[in-house]
Amino acid sequence: MENYSLIFVCMVAYLVSFASAKPGIATFYTKYIPSACFKNQDHGKMIAAAGDALWKNGAMCGKKFTVKCTGPRNGVRHPCTGKSVTVKVVDQCPGCPSTMDLSREAFEIIAKPVAGIINIDYKKGNDCLKWKKPEHQTIKINCSPSWTSESGWAAIVAVARDYTRKVVMAVQTYSARAVEVMAIRMGTKLS
């Protein structure tokens, strides 16, 4: 029963995290240095230039965003890969039609480059990747769900730790049907 509860909590948390994302537009660029934020410093390939609406006079410099392709903006059918990418804002893209101008390498992770321009969901930060110690006598649950439309497979891995970092419970499942059945069971028990 505890395993089902943990999976249900993770599924709800994952859905809420998608709901907090903002819609936008992404394009890509290929010349990364110099940048408006960091001049001639190299900040790798998982980077982005902020469009005018996001730039806020450079306040977004160094901020990280998780970006996911949600669909086409032109005639390219099915441009999305189904993956998401975390990028750091290192530059400004004045006058761009997009919310974010991603590095080509970051764009390729979430979409086919031939698309050129795509619809995205984006959210600030990547805090889900960092474990933070919970308050005294509380439990922290970290969830990592994923799903692929091509194979229909899903996976959820969840770890519950107490305030001393001791693992209280861990659970994992791979089948999309098993995840769906667990969610239905939990939903009927809670109603």
* 141-161 average pLDDT score: 66
Residue 106 CA to residue 182 CA, distance in Å, equals 34
Give 186's pLDDT tier (boundaries 50, 70, 90): low
3-state secondary structure of 108: helix
Structure tokens at 175: 């089948």
Q: How far apart are CA 39 and CA 92, in angstroms?
A: 12
Report percent pLDDT > 70 for the chain.
Answer: 64
Walk me through the domains of the chain, giving residue ranges and CATH numbers: 2-14+128-190 (3.30.160), 21-126 (2.40.40.10)
**Percent helix / strand / coil, the chain, rounded to 5:** 30, 40, 35
pTM for the complete prediction? 0.60
Per-residue pLDDT tens for 94-110?
988 889 999 999 999 99
